[in-house]
Amino acid sequence: ENGSRLWLRYSTDGNATISCNKQSPMLGIAATELRRAWKGVPVTLSLQRNKETRALGEEGYRLFTSDDGRKITITSAGERGLLYGAFHLLRLQDTGTENLSKLNIKESPAYNLRILNHWDNLDRSIERGYAGRSLWDWEALPSTLSDRYADYARANASIGINGTVINNVNASSQILSTEYLEKVKALADVFRPYGIRVYLSINFASPMQLGGLATADPLDKEVIAWWKNKTKEIYHLIPDFGGFLVKANSEGQPGPCDFNRTHAEGANMLADAVKPYKGIIMWRAFVYSPSDADRAKQAYLEFQPLDGQFRDNVIVQIKNGPVDFQPREPYSPLFGAMPKTAQMVEFQITQEYLGFSNHLVYLAPMWKEFFDFVQPSSLKAMAGVANIGTDANWCGHPFAQSNWYAFGRLAWNPELSAEAIAEEWLKQTFFNEELRMKNEEFGKGNEERLQSDISINSSFLILHSSLKQLMMQSREAVVDYMMPLGLHHLFAWGHHYGPEPWCDIPGARPDWMPSYYHKADKAGIGFDRSHTGSNATAQYPDSLCHLYDDISTCPDEYLLWFHHAPWNHTMQSGRTLWDELCYRYDKGVQQVRSFQRIWDLTENYIDTERFKDVQSRLKIQARDAVWWKDACLLYFMEYSGMRIPYDIERPIHELDDLKQVKLPIDNHECPTRKMLDERR
C-alpha cells in the first residue's frame, strides 16, 4: 500500500446495473466508475435539460432514489454534472454517511472555476514542490502519455476541480512555443473527458523573448498582434483552452509597468486577445517592492485604485493574506475593496511555509478562517497552489493528500466545515478497506466474529475521532511552534523550512529578512501597522480597523502582526507577552508529541507502509518543532532579557549552534531526517 490510490480506494467489485441515456467519453468515465464499485440498486445517469436541471447548471446535479427504493437516478443538464454526481454517490457509499435508500440531493458548485496552480518548471523541477518532480514529462510528450495524467484528472474530477494551470507563475516563455503547445494539447486531450480545462502561466515578455519583438508594451500594435496570433494558435489546438495566469512586475518578472503601463492595461490587452474564445485572464496581485513602505500594504495600494478598469474577463487573483502564505495572516484587505472587479483567492496547498512534506498540517481550518472574513459569494473563483508531484503517493506526506482533497471540496462548497471534510477524507483514505480486512481476519469463527466486530468497530470509532481531532488541531500547532501571536516570516533565507529569526544578509532585499517582520528590540517585538506605524490597519473596513488598531482590543493571534508590543504587555491570558510567547511555542511542541501518541495507536489498524511513513514524518516534525521553539525563544530572549518560565520544557540547543545550521536544499526539495540531524 503506497497511498497512490488517494481517497479513491473503493474496491472494484461493483455489481450493479448502470445505464445512461447518452454516450460520450465523459459519460463513459462516469459509468465505468460506477460499474467498478457501486454495490447498490441500479443507477441511471440521465442527461436532460428541464427547469430543474437548468437551475442547477451544467455542473450541478440531482441525485435521488425512486419512491420504491429500487433505483437511483442522477440527472443533470451537463455531462460534467453527471460525472460529479457519480463520484458523489460513490463517496456516500464509501463514507456510509447517508441512507442510500432515501437519497434526494441537489448540488451545484459555488464557483464555476476551481483551479489548481502548478508551479512546475519545464525542466520538471517544481518551485516549492516537495513531492518529487513534475508529473508532466515534457520530453516524452506529446507522443508518450503517462498513465498518471488520467489518474490525476480522475482524482481532480472526483472532488470537482475543473481547471489546471500546468506551469509555474515564474513562467518560461518557451511554454508558448509551437513545440510546447503541441505537448500542452496532448495533456488537454487527456484531461478533457474528466471535465478539466488547461490554462497556462505566461511570461509577459514573451513577444520579445519568443517573438523577437523589440518591446512587450501592451499598447504596442505589434505586441497586440503577437498575442492575438498566439492565442489563435492555442485555441486552434485546444478549443476549450481556459486562459492565462499572469505574474507581472513581481519578484523580478516582467510586466506592463516596465513600459509605464498599469496592471489593468496589461491585463486588458491579454483579455481582448482571449475574449473571442471565451478565455479568461487571471492576473495576480502579488506585488511588492523593497523601496516602498510595508510590504503588507502594497498590493492594496497598487490594485485598489485600478478598480473598474479591468475587462470583464479578467479576474484579479489575490493570496489569502497580505504578505505570503504565512502560517497565520489576517486576510488581505484587498478583498472587498474592488467592488467593480472580479476577484479570486489563491490558497497555497503546497506547504512552503508549513514544514514542506515533513509536517502534518491539515489546511482546511486555515482556509475556513479566511472565509470567516471574506464572503464566499464575493469571489468569482478559487485557486490552490498544488502539492502534487511524481511521488507514488502524489503529495509526499500521506496527510498532505487531505489538503488537495479539502481544496477541491471547499472550492465546490466553501460552506462545508473543515471537520466534515476531514471526516470524509479519513473514512475514504484509512477506514474503508482496512476495516473490512481486519474484520475478516479476526472474524474467523461465528460467535467470535461477532464479538471482535463489535470491539474493532468501537475502537475504530475512537481512533477515527482522535485522528480527526489531530487534523483539526494541526494547523494551530504549527502556528504555535513556528510563529505564534502574529509573528511572521521568521524563515531561513534560501528555503522556507527552518527558523532563522536572526538572519541578516548584507545587501539582500530588506523585505526578505526576518527582522523586517519581527522588529525585535529591547522595548518589544512586532510590526507596528497601527496608525502610529505603517497604518496598514486603515486598509481594513472600519470595524476591523478599530479592532486591530487598538492594542488593547487586537486579538492575540494578530497582536504582533499589527503592533510592536512591549515584552511585558498583558495578554488576554493575563500573562506577559514574553511568557505567553514561551507557552505558545511550548504548546506547539507538546501538541506534536500528542499527535505522535495518537498516531501510534493506529498501528494495528492501518497498513504498515502508510503507518510507518506517517510515524517517521511525525518524528521529524517533533524535532523540528523543538528546533523552532529553541531558535526563536533563545534568540528573542536576548532582546526581552526575560527567563523562559520554569514550568516549561527547557531548550536542548545552543543558540550559536542553531545559527550555524545551513540546509543545502533548493526551493524544490524536502530535507530528509538524516540531513536535518546532521546539520543541527
The contact set with ligand BDP (CB under 6 A) reads: 127-128, 169-170, 247, 251, 286, 324-325, 352, 667
C-alpha cell at 149: 495524467
Closest CB to ligand BDP among residues 93, 164 = 164
Matching residue, cell 472587479: 341
Whichever of 482 and 520 has its CB closer to ligand BDP, that residue is: 482
Least gap, CB of 284 to ligand BDP (angstroms): 7
Least distance (Å) between residue 352 CB and ligand BDP: 6
d(CA 170, CA 471): 32
Q: Which is nearer to ligand BDP, 169 or 560 (CB)?
A: 169
Would you report the helix, strand and coil content of the chain in percent, each value rounded to 5? 45, 10, 45
Point out the residue whose Cβ comes nearest to ligand BDP: 324
Cα end-to-end distance, the chain, whole Å: 33
Neighbours of 556 (CB within 10 A): 15
φ/ψ region of 249 (left if φ > 0, alpha if ψ in -120 to 50, else beta) reads left
**Residue 169 or residue 676: which is nearer to ligand BDP going by CB?**
169
Question: CA-based diameter of the chain, in Å?
Answer: 83
Min dist. Cβ of residue 253 to ligand BDP (A): 8
**From the CB of 620, what's the least distance to ligand BDP, in Å?**
22
Evaluate whether 204 touches 254 at the Cβ level (below 8 Å): yes
CB of 489 to ligand BDP, least distance (A): 10
What is the smallest separation between the CB atom of 385 and ligand BDP, expressed in angstroms? Answer: 7
Closest listed residue to residue 167, CA positions, set 231, 80, 245:
245
- The nearer residue to ligand BDP, 53 or 249, going by C-beta atoms, is 249
The answer to whether residue 33 is catalytic is no
Q: Please state, in angstroms and rounded to a whole number, the distance separating the CA atoms of residues 228 and 206.
A: 13
Q: Pick the closer one to ligand BDP by CB: 84 or 491.
A: 491
- The DSSP element (H or E) to which 481 belongs, if any, is helix 446-482
Output phi, psi for 60, to 5 deg. -85, 170
**Spatial contact of 597 and 544, defined as CB atoms under 8 Å apart:** no
C-alpha cell at 169: 507563475
Cα–Cα dist 235/300, whole Å? 34
State the minimum distance, in angstroms, from the CB of residue 351 to ligand BDP: 11
Q: How far apart are CA 40 and CA 42, in angstroms?
A: 7
H or E segment at 284?
strand 280-284
Measured CA to CA, the distance from residue 185 to residue 363 in angstroms comes to: 33
Q: To which H or E segment does residue 201 belong? A: strand 197-202
Q: List strand residue ranges (DSSP E) for 320-433, in order.
A: 342-348, 381-385
Whether 434 is catalytic: no
CB 159 within 8 A of CB 406: no
Cβ proximity to ligand BDP, 194 vs 325, nearer residue: 325
Nearest residue (CB) to ligand BDP, 247 versus 623: 247
Q: Which is nearer to ligand BDP, 383 or 477 (CB)?
A: 383
430/393 Cα distance (integer angstroms)? 14
Catalytic residue among 123, 139, 222, 251: 251
* Residue of 217, 352, 579, 613 marked active site: 352
Does residue 541 have a cis bond before it (omega within 30 degrees)? no
Q: Which candidate, 513, 525, 638, places its Cα nearest to that of 581?
A: 525
Shortest approach of ligand BDP to residue 493 CB, angstroms?
A: 12
Minimum distance from CB of 4 to ligand BDP (Å)? 27
Burial code (b: 16+ CB inside 10 Å, e: under 16) for 568-580 equals ebebeeebbbbbb
Is residue 433 annotated as a catalytic residue, yes or no? no
Q: Closest approach of Cβ 201 to ligand BDP, in Å?
A: 10
Q: Which three cell numbers stand for residue 516?
A: 523586517
What is the radius of gyration, based on Cα positions, of the chain? 26
Question: Among residues 335, 322, 332, which one has the least CA distance to residue 381?
Answer: 335
Q: Cell numbers 528590540 label which residue?
A: 521
Cβ nearer to ligand BDP, comparing 73 with 253: 253
Which of 302, 324, 579, 613 is labelled catalytic? 324
Catalytic (active-site) positions: 251, 324, 352
